[in-house]
Amino acid sequence: MVSYLQVENLTKSFGDRLLFADVTFGVYEGDKIGLVARNGAGKSTLLSILAGHEEPDSGSVVYRNGIRVGYLEQTPSFADGATVLEAALPSPTGHDDWNREDLTKSMLGTLGIHNFDAPASTLSGGQQKRVAIAKVLLEEPDMLLLDEPTNHLDIAVIEWLEDYLTRKRTTLLMVTHDRYFLDRVCSKIIEIDREEIFTYEGNFSYYLRKHDERMENLEAETAKVKNLLRTELEWMRRQPQARGSKAKYRIDNFHELEKKSKVDLRERNVQLGVKSAYIGSKIFEAHSVSKAFGDIRILNDWSYVFARYERVGIIGDNGAGKSTFIKLLLGELQPDSGHFDIGETVRWGYYSQEGMTGFDEKKKVIDAVREIAEEVQLDEKTRLSASQFLSHFLFTPAQQQKYIYKLSGGERRRLYLATVLMRRPNFLILDEPTNDLDIMTLTVLEDYLANFKGCLIVVSHDRFFLDRITDHLFVFKGNGVVRDFPGDYTTYRETARREEREARESEALAMAAKTDTKKEKPRQEKVKLTFKEKREMETLEKDIERYAEEKRELEEKLQSGLSDHNAIAEAGSRMMELDNLIDEAEMRLLELMEKEG
């Protein structure tokens, strides 16, 4: 294997807070690595150090000579006054300089950016992320460092990027909380846990299994250490006269055991024990609601009766009207015609991107919560003080005294989530709740929502999150069209792909029929296939079956935790090739069947 990067004994602290210590690992040609850890463990800091934007306290970062590294920051920044095109334009690379601008426009268009002359600074966060992605991909580096590449992107762009990175042989090290993205793109997982690095040779599903095994083994090892420590402690108490030079090794061993026994194996997870308030049988009804902004139609004569305990996911391209729909529902915007009828027992809980800016940053965490309530009622029997409630969201007494402006992005989101849930809503509306939350916190939030005794609407680009907690979807198609799909996101995507394929086939048949009509051939009862065409039909049928069987075998291998990262990357690439081969074979077979009549 060709080594691209060697990290040796890397250590980084902020003040008295140690992020990681003596971290050592390597990145090799063709690796596709996902970096996972809890919020605040140092994932983004590690990437920043590897990109040369920050300095470690100690240790070394050594790249192979001549390696070109591309770095996508979590929050991109552009040169003052740069247009979208200028911000995305890759560096000159010699022989292909003449078409750099065309390539850049094409990539931006693929990512949904078409106003090339607009100032890059005026774009939304999601649009800026797309421009930065275009630039780093167009540079075609040997190795990519990506910090939360899927944040603020809609699902269509995420899936395009997922396919792109799966096909390309580019070496990759990335931080993301998108579990499907990790599972499908990465062939190796590196975890930062308790200031140490652990490496898993497999995709994210494989990592989850092996992480659990590691934790079980660590628990067993710690239990053994504690038993041995008790024996050594008795010896220390019984043998004060033996503490001379001959017993020094045993005394040192005692102190080492004591240190190992203090490993805290408790999983510090957010505890979302808040019960929703009672919700009646009438929730809300939409009666012929229409809304437009000029020529842009959001809803067109839309009606719907929301049922008790319903869980709806909202998806659609950026600009299709998802956020406008939420504002209409909450009464922040009024429809052009029609109306909403809201039940009397409905108590809204709204978690939005804009809500993050509602905190007074000069206030302490505990004071911000006490302004809402001094006491929080978890259920009919349990009440907690504001401080006790914050501890459920991983804010220690010391952290509760921190000023809000000092909180990290993930800590702010946890605080915001706490202020939403402490009001005991029975109808939750969550607008992109997964951004900046670590995978562990996401899992706890999903567990809470799965058992939430109320109604739920989620706007999200996180496909795993949607699959886990929603039972049907509102798909905003644009131009006022909203499709109500009964099922989770994965089922919808498979259905949409089948419908797209069927539409292409119907279009091809219609075009063929039109061409035949124009030729005005004399009507024939039946066209006989040539011997060669009959053999081709037989071959195509066998090929389709063979391709499908190979795809099933590859899926089984990936799901079983295939450990060789090169094999995983090749399997993913081959599955995409097989999809194309199946489509092509089916189209040709259809042509021959039509010809045969």
375, pLDDT greater than 90: no
Specify whether 199 is located in the same domain as 222: no
Domain end marker among 166, 187, 208: 208
Residues 110 and 130 in one domain: yes
Report the distance separating Cα 316 and Cα 156, nearest Å. Answer: 8
Q: Are residues 52 and 133 in the same domain?
A: yes
Percentage of the chain modeled with pLDDT above 90: 34
The answer to the question of residue 89 being in a domain is yes
> Do residues 481 and 543 both lie within one domain?
no
Do 376 and 466 have their domain in common? Answer: yes
- State the DSSP H helix or E strand holding residue 190, giving kind and residue range, or none if neither: strand 188-193
Between 117 and 281, the more confident residue is: 117
Higher-confidence residue of 456 and 262: namely 456
Query: CA 60 to CA 58: how far, in whole Å?
Result: 7
Q: Strands (DSSP E) along 262-295, which ranges?
A: 284-293
3-state SS of 110-166 is: HCCCCCCCCEHHHCCHHHHHHHHHHHHHHCCCCEEEEECCCCCCCHHHHHHHHHHHH
Q: How far apart are CA 164 and CA 408, in angstroms?
A: 31
Give the type of residue at 456.
L
User: Does residue 492 fall inside a structural domain?
Assistant: no
Residue 278 forms part of a structural domain: no
Q: Does residue 509 lie within any of the structural domains?
A: no
Q: Are residues 326 and 248 in the same domain?
A: no
DSSP label at residue 7:
E
Is 145 in contact with 63 (CB distance < 8 Å)? no
- The reply to whether 366 falls in a domain is yes
193 and 248 together in one domain: no
Of 208, 229, 246, the position where a domain reaches its end is 208
The string of pLDDT tens digits covering residues 89-127 is 988 764 455 578 888 999 999 888 989 999 999 888 888
First-to-last alpha carbon distance for the chain, in angstroms, is 55
8 has a pLDDT exceeding 80:
yes
**Does residue 366 sit in the same domain as residue 416?**
yes
The stretch 132-151 carries a mean pLDDT of 93
Residue 472 belongs to domain spanning: 284-487
Give the chain's domain count: 4
Q: Do residues 191 and 227 share a domain?
A: no
Is 420 in the same domain as 341?
yes
**Comparing C-alpha atoms, which of 103, 467, 423, 72 is closest to residue 275?**
423
| pLDDT of res. 42 | 87
User: H-type helices in 51-91, by residue range?
Assistant: 84-88
pLDDT of residue 312: 94
* Residue 337: pLDDT over 90: yes
* Same domain flag for 332 and 471: yes
Q: How confident is the model at residue 388 (pLDDT cuts 50, 70, 90)?
A: confident
CATH number at 389 reads 3.40.50.300
Q: Residues 16-38: pLDDT tens digits?
A: 788 999 999 999 999 999 999 88
The answer as to whether 172 is a domain residue is yes
Q: How far apart are CA 372 and CA 423, in angstroms?
A: 9
For residues 540, 542, 547 and 550, what is the CA-based torsion angle, rounded to 10 degrees?
A: -170
pLDDT (tens digit, 9 = 90+) per residue, 156-185?
889 999 999 998 888 999 999 899 999 999
Domain boundary among 208, 225, 244: 208
* Residue 269 included in any domain: no
What's residue 23's pLDDT?
Answer: 92
Rounded to whole angstroms, the Cα distance separating 238 from 248 reads 15
Task: Kindly state whether residues 476 and 374 are assigned to the same domain.
Answer: yes
Which pLDDT does position 456 carry in this prediction? 92
Pairwise CA distance, residues 67 & 17, whole Å: 33
Work out the mean pLDDT of the chain and round it to a whole number.
83
Q: What is the pLDDT of residues 214-237, one digit of tens each?
A: 877 777 766 665 666 566 566 556
> What's residue 95's pLDDT?
42
Q: 12-26, 410-424, 461-475: lowest mean pLDDT where?
A: 410-424
Tell whether 414 is covered by a domain: yes
Closest CA to 489 of 505, 507, 469: 469
Q: How confident is the model at residue 267 (pLDDT cuts 50, 70, 90)?
A: low
